[in-house]
Chains A and B, each alone.
Chain A
């Protein structure tokens, strides 16, 4: 029914999260142009992945429960993709006449 992780796993995940926090703070002071945001988000998603996988035990859920967890992510992607596809294309101009 359930899986009990050893404490060492939790300590290692905690350590990884702390190191990644230090890295993301440090990198923010370097000017990488647009890559500042890319790196910040990559680290944030990595941290989130660690929390979901190990602290929230998502890997040990039943398949139906996993579907609910993955579904949340899918709806989130739809929310972002549809909103951005509107706002980021408004400056593309009016289509040529004759349509």
Chain B
């Protein structure tokens, strides 16, 4: 099967020499990606569990700090990222069907929405800077529990920063998928790079699904004393 595919289409085989056939290659690709995602889940898991320890120790300070988040920007960004995941899913589906033109279109839309997300994120960071809410050198919050409030901003910048870094890497990977699609590399038999990059992009979406309520929304109903 793979033999005929390779030599009829572009001279070079998508079947790597260490695999018996494309089915085995697909199996190895998905297992490898899920193993990598397991390490990613534990990496972000470490951050989430630290957040859990600090938030359960200082619940009121965290709720107070969360009131300074831009809920509208966070909600819009959640919608943008879910939209990009939909485009990614459609790009992978197009690759599975060998529709390289559609892969290009949906990959570009995924990249566009990913970029919109990052632009909004940078805009939010800039506002945190002008409001002097960046922990460390530029933290001017003077209310009660100052240092505990500062802790949530530490989590905010570390977690959303690591998330944004993953998005930048994702944009790089999507560029690679775009190049493959322009070379008509995808077919019904060989679509694995698109699928594996899709898994990565959806994982980044998964992280944000937890970051959004835990960082932006925990102060929305907080009735405690308003400082500053």
Contacts and interface: CB of A to CB of B under 8 A. Distances in A.
A14 B85 CA distance: 8
* Interface of chain A, main secondary structure: helix
Contacts of B38: 68-69, 71-72, 75
* Interface of chain B, main secondary structure: helix
Given A7-B90, A14-B86, A79-B46, A55 B202 contact: yes
Interface stretch (B115-123, B163-171, B213-221): B213-221
A59 interface: no
A65 B27 contact: yes
B88 A55 contact: yes
Interface string B60-94: 00000000000100010011001101101110010
Given A10-B89, A30-B221, A76 B42 contact: yes
B186 interface: no
A32 B202 contact: no
Contacts of B199: 56
A2 interface: yes
B172 interface: no
B12 interface: no
B76 to A, nearest CB: 10
Nearest to A32: B221
Contacts of B212: 21, 24
Interface of B: 22-23, 26-27, 30-31, 34-35, 37-38, 41-42, 45-46, 48-49, 52-53, 56-57, 71, 75, 78-79, 82-83, 85-86, 88-90, 93, 96-97, 191, 195, 198-199, 202-203, 205-206, 209-210, 212-214, 217-218, 220-221, 223
CB-CB nearest 5 A-B residue pairs: A72-B38, A28-B217, A28-B220, A40-B213, A68-B34
16 contacts: A7-B93, A10-B93, A24-B213, A28-B220, A37-B218, A40-B217, A43-B213, A44-B213, A47-B209, A52-B202, A65-B27, A69-B37, A76-B41, A79-B42, A79-B45, A87-B56
